């Protein structure tokens, strides 16, 4: 049982990034509008970067392939993302999203610190 828990945790954490990346691929114009509404320049560049980080980082966690690095990259990605998009604390939903991102960063730091566990591509061979 101890072997499967880290795998399940990695999948759960990765799910949000994989879904977010897929959503950006499905609706790039909407994502760029959202970014522009928050004052971001070069939205096409940031959109591409976000897709790459979310998809590759999410796959890294699911597969346990360079999972520590993937967790660090995703955690570092979430810091500015959280500070740009979720700091309107008078809006309760934004406060909740801010706190959720803080919790996700905590999970990512745990993966970065403790590693992916036994059921991972990093531990093969």
Read off the pLDDT of residues 61-86 as tens digits, 9 standing for 90 and up. 999 999 999 999 999 999 999 999 99
Q: What would the two tokens of residue 94 be?
A: 């934004």
Which residues in the chain show pLDDT less than 70? Answer: 125
- What is this structure's pTM? 0.94
Kind and range of the H or E run holding 16: helix 4-26
Residue 90 gets which letter from DSSP?
Answer: T
Q: What angle do CA 7, 104, 1 make, to 5 degrees?
A: 25
- Which phi and psi (to 5°) does residue 27 adopt? -140, 65
91 with 121: CB under 8 angstroms?
A: no
Helix axes 4-26, 28-37, angle to 10 degrees: 90
């Amino acid at each position: 049982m101890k072997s499967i828990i880290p795998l399940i945790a990695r999948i759960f954490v990765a799910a949000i990034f994989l879904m977010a990346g897929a959503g950006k691929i499905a609706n790039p114009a909407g994502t760029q509008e959202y970014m522009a509404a928050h004052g971001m320049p070069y939205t096409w560049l940031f959109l591409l970067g976000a897709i790459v980080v979310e998809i590759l980082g999410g796959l890294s966690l699911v597969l346990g392939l360079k999972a520590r690095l993937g967790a660090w990259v995703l955690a570092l990605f979430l810091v500015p993302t959280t500070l740009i998009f979720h700091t309107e604390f008078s809006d309760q939903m934004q406060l909740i999203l801010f706190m959720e991102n803080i919790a996700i960063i905590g999970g990512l730091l745990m993966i970065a610190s403790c590693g992916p566990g036994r059921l991972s591509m990093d531990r093969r061979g």
